[in-house]
Amino acid sequence: MSYPLTPTLTGRQLTVDAALNTPPLITKRIAALTADQLVIDKFLSATGQKVEGGALLYTQASAENMYTTRDVEQRAAGAEYPVVMGERPEPKLAEAEDWGGKFFVTDEARTRNNVSEFDDNVTQLANTITRKINQRVIDAIEAAITGNGVVPGHDWNNVITSGPLDALTPNNERPAADWAISQLAADMGELGVIFDLLVLHPQEHHSLKVAYGEDLAAVLASNNLSVFTSPRLTPGTGYAVKKGNAGIMAYEKPLNTTTWRDEARRVTWVQSYAVPAIAVTNPLAIKKLTGLDG
């Protein structure tokens, strides 16, 4: 796939000047650079709901309020069904958070069409926005997980899955046992949560590769799991997730780019920002795995 700011071999590459005159193309480039790195869609679903008044009102589900306080009853002829309204979660507010940054392009770089320098600046800004948004999503997830949302795991660093029988790591101490226990805990909640994603620190993903080798893909497939990694996680931890079901991310302002001239310095400023609100409405769609590095 080609992007507007990537030079082509046809001689019709987009110039720095054209990019600075068309900020949406810079936004598109940043979106392309961040797409495969963001954890947002791993935990949260996008929503067209606009954040009004600087915050998003939401409720957060817990095991206690997922059932009614009174059981349903068999109805006799002529009788009424019982009122079975359960407890309502306390409303919460997710405040909009304004994250962004800027860099300048000198007139000299613009005139000389220094595409490489410009693209490096865009990439640096995209990476920094990604890092911040990822950290804020993980912070929100961490704040929402309590009690039985945490599953103590085993050390993934020294797992042995091949060799002499007496040297093999027992099945109940292997990584697969940890996500199986997570699914068991979810099943006991009777809420229909089926985990389909492991979100891991790169260290734990490396441990999985070493432990299972060429069999890792089959091991994951047998559990209907895929893996996403992010260094924003604390080493030794991970999450079993029902992808996109833990909450929502709404925007007061989605990713946006503006440019303006500074004649005194003969530079053009490029500023990109996003104003999201993060609401973890269903932490029951996540189990946090701990103790994965011993």
In tens, the pLDDT along 207-258 reads 999 999 999 999 999 999 999 999 999 999 999 999 999 999 999 999 999 9
Tell me the average pLDDT of the chain: 89
Domain borders along the chain are 15-66+87-294
Phi then psi dihedrals of residue 205, to 5 deg: -65, -40
**Among 39, 87, 58, CA closest to 280:** 58
Q: How far is CA 203 from the centre of its chain?
A: 18
Please compute the mean of the pLDDT values over residues 38-53 and round it to a whole number: 88
C-alpha span between 161 and 267 (Å, rounded) = 59
- Sorting pLDDT into bands at 50, 70 and 90, what band is 3? very low
Q: Does the pLDDT of residue 50 top 70, yes or no?
A: yes
For 15-66+87-294, give the CATH class: alpha beta
pLDDT the model gives residue 117: 93
- Sorting pLDDT into bands at 50, 70 and 90, what band is 145? very high
Positive or negative, the CA dihedral 136, 137, 138, 141 is positive
Q: Does the pLDDT of residue 6 top 60, yes or no?
A: no
Q: Are 55 and 93 in contact (CB under 8 A)?
A: yes
In tens, the pLDDT along 29-43 reads 999 999 899 999 999
In tens, the pLDDT along 161-210 reads 888 888 889 999 999 999 999 999 999 988 899 999 999 999 999 999 99
In tens, the pLDDT along 74-130 reads 888 878 887 777 677 788 999 999 999 999 999 999 999 999 999 999 999 999 999
C-alpha span between 167 and 52 (Å, rounded) = 60
pLDDT the model gives residue 100: 94
Pairing assessment for the beta strands 91-95 and 55-59 based on DSSP bridges: antiparallel
Element counts in the chain: helices (H) and strands (E): 8, 11
C-alpha span between 213 and 159 (Å, rounded) = 11
List the structure tokens of 172.
């109940």
List the structure tokens of 275.
């104003």
C-alpha span between 271 and 258 (Å, rounded) = 5
- State the DSSP string of 58-94: EE---GGGSS-SS---PPPTTPPPPP---PPPPEEEE
